[in-house]
Amino acid sequence: MASLTSAIVEHRLPPGARLTEAKLVEVLSANRNHVRAALQKLASETKVVSLIPNRGAFVAKPTAEEAREIFSARMVLERAIVELAVTNLTPRNHNRLLKQVDKEREAIARQDRQQMIRESGNFHRLLADISGNRVLGELLEGLITRTSLIIALYQETFDVKCSIGEHQAVAEAILRQDRDEAIRLMDHHMDDIQNHLLLDESEPEVDLRAALLQI
């Protein structure tokens, strides 16, 4: 269900939003069985939907621990993808990368936040495609979706423009075929995104004895 995934990735559906089957059937003009199967697939494969017994389907709310694990896994993938992208920098791929950077600049000029989010993801998808490793691309696609959900949950004021600026630096290093610098910049980019997330904030500890005995 591409339209539902896109709505989650682009922050049009926030974490915790209820996904009522009847409403999805109506809005998407889809068969109820197809909607149910799609929700189950999103819950089991990409983990962006949570199915709660007797309550229904909701946009997932990843824990801080899950967020850290996702960023750790994505860091490994991104490094491998960048290294392969430098190796596979054909004239065609050179032009594709330049065009993608231009698309991101255009989205910033229009102040179109959803388009900025979309093109930000497309930059990473393009690098995976240039890498030539389809398995890495498939793995990255799932992590991009989950990363976007984490950003929506833990940092509502995430500055997409800064992220896109870092993309340009990565792209320039790849275009120079400076492998080490491209990897370093990608590491910095992923660290910067994670550092803007409020993953260390914890719920205040409740004194159950004091609460129950009104001490």
CATH code, domain carrying 169: 1.20.120.530
pLDDT tens-digit map of 32-80: 999 999 899 999 988 899 999 989 999 999 999 999 999 999 999 999 9
Q: Residues 37, 126: one domain?
A: no
Residues 182 and 96 in one domain: yes
Kindly tell me if the per-residue pLDDT of 203 is higher than 50.
no
**Shared domain check, 175 and 142:** yes
Instruction: Give the total number of structural domains in the chain.
Output: 2
The pLDDT-based confidence of 10 (bands split at 50, 70, 90) is confident
Strands 18-19 and 49-52, by their bridges, are: unpaired
**Alpha-carbon gap, residue 2 to 110, rounded angstroms:** 25
Give which of 197, 181, 195 is closest to 83, Cα–Cα. 181
Close Cβ partners of 49 (under 8 Å, ≥ 6 residues apart)? 19, 39, 42, 43, 57, 58, 59, 60
User: Does 35 map to a domain?
Assistant: yes
Please name the residue ranges forming H helices in 110-207: 113-131, 134-154, 160-175, 179-195
Same domain flag for 8 and 79: no
Which residue segment(s) compose the domain that 28 sits in?
2-59
Is 68 in the same domain as 53? no
User: Do 116 and 178 have their domain in common?
Assistant: yes
Q: What is the pTM of this model?
A: 0.82
From the number of C-beta atoms within 10 Å of its C-beta (0-12, 13-18, 19+), residue 211 rates as: exposed
Tokens standing for residue 215: 């001490």
Cβ neighbours of residue 91 under 8 Å, at least 6 residues apart? Answer: none
Reported as a single tens digit per residue, the pLDDT across 128-173 is: 999 999 999 999 999 999 998 898 888 756 566 667 889 999 999 9
Together in a domain, 42 and 84: no
Query: Do 48 and 139 have their domain in common?
Result: no
Looking at 59, 79, 106, the residue that finishes a domain is 59
Same domain for 136 and 33: no
pLDDT: which is higher, 4 or 183: 183
